Amino acid sequence: MKQFCLLLAFTFLFVPIGALAQKGLTYAPESTIVVDGASNQSDWKVNALEFSGVVSLESGAPISATLVIPVLGMKGGRSMIMDRLMRGAFKADENPNISFTMSKADAVDAQTFDVHGTLTMAGVSNPVTIRLIRSKNSAGNFVFAGSLNLDMKEYKMDPPSAMFGALLTKPNVKIGFNLILN
């Protein structure tokens, strides 16, 4: 009986710790990051076709996260000229990646988190807070979805323009996240 009680105590003390802490989760290929913006001519959308990073969770809450998006992996789908102008705005030759490093997360409620961290774009780093809502998909993976509104000028980026200024991109964009963790 004594051995059974020790085994039971061991199980309750150590098994939940491993089940609650999930380290080194990565972003599933079906995750999406989309930038929505506008110009004086039309609305536009840019997809991050490739990105990487690592997320650690504790009891389903983020405790650390990194995200790296190669600028060359972002495509607007409209024209090669617009993609080239976008890369120029990001100063991709000198700053080939956009990155986010989480510093902390505050639980708003059981499924909602304000994730604080540093976003670096075009060589400029600024603190940001992203509200993410956690759910699970049909495969049982955690999904974090949310968005971030930002002004390109806060990152010393010149909004792209074309046709000798006839096409002017507005500096405010919205970045939408649907991050599925493996």
Q: What string of DSSP letters covers 42-93?
A: -EEEEEE---B--EEEETTEEEEEEEEEEGGGEE-SS-HHHHHHHHHHTTTT
In three-state secondary structure terms, 153 is: helix
Asked if residue 81 lies in contact with residue 54, where contact means CB atoms within 8 angstroms, the answer is no
The pLDDT assigned to 21 comes to: 59
Does the pLDDT of residue 99 top 80, yes or no?
Answer: yes
To the nearest 10°, report the CA torsion of 51, 129, 150, 88: -40
Average pLDDT, integer, range 24-38: 95
Q: How far apart are CA 31 and CA 182, in angstroms?
A: 10
Does the pLDDT of residue 4 top 60, yes or no?
Answer: no
Q: Which residue has the higher pLDDT, 24 or 102?
A: 102
Residues linked to residue 173 through DSSP beta bridges, in sequence order: 150
Does the pLDDT of residue 17 top 60, yes or no?
Answer: no
Tokens of 8: 């039971």
Q: What is the pLDDT of residues 32-89, one digit of tens each?
A: 999 999 988 888 899 999 999 999 999 999 999 999 999 999 998 777 878 888 899 9
Asked if residue 26 lies in contact with residue 182, where contact means CB atoms within 8 angstroms, the answer is yes
The pLDDT assigned to 14 comes to: 39
Q: How far apart are CA 16 and CA 147, in angstroms?
A: 32
The domain ranges of the chain are 22-180
8-12, 69-73, 108-112: segment of lowest average pLDDT = 8-12
Q: What is the domain class of 22-180 according to CATH?
A: mainly beta
- Model-level pTM? 0.85
Q: How far apart are CA 120 and CA 112, in angstroms?
A: 24
Asked if residue 159 lies in contact with residue 121, where contact means CB atoms within 8 angstroms, the answer is no
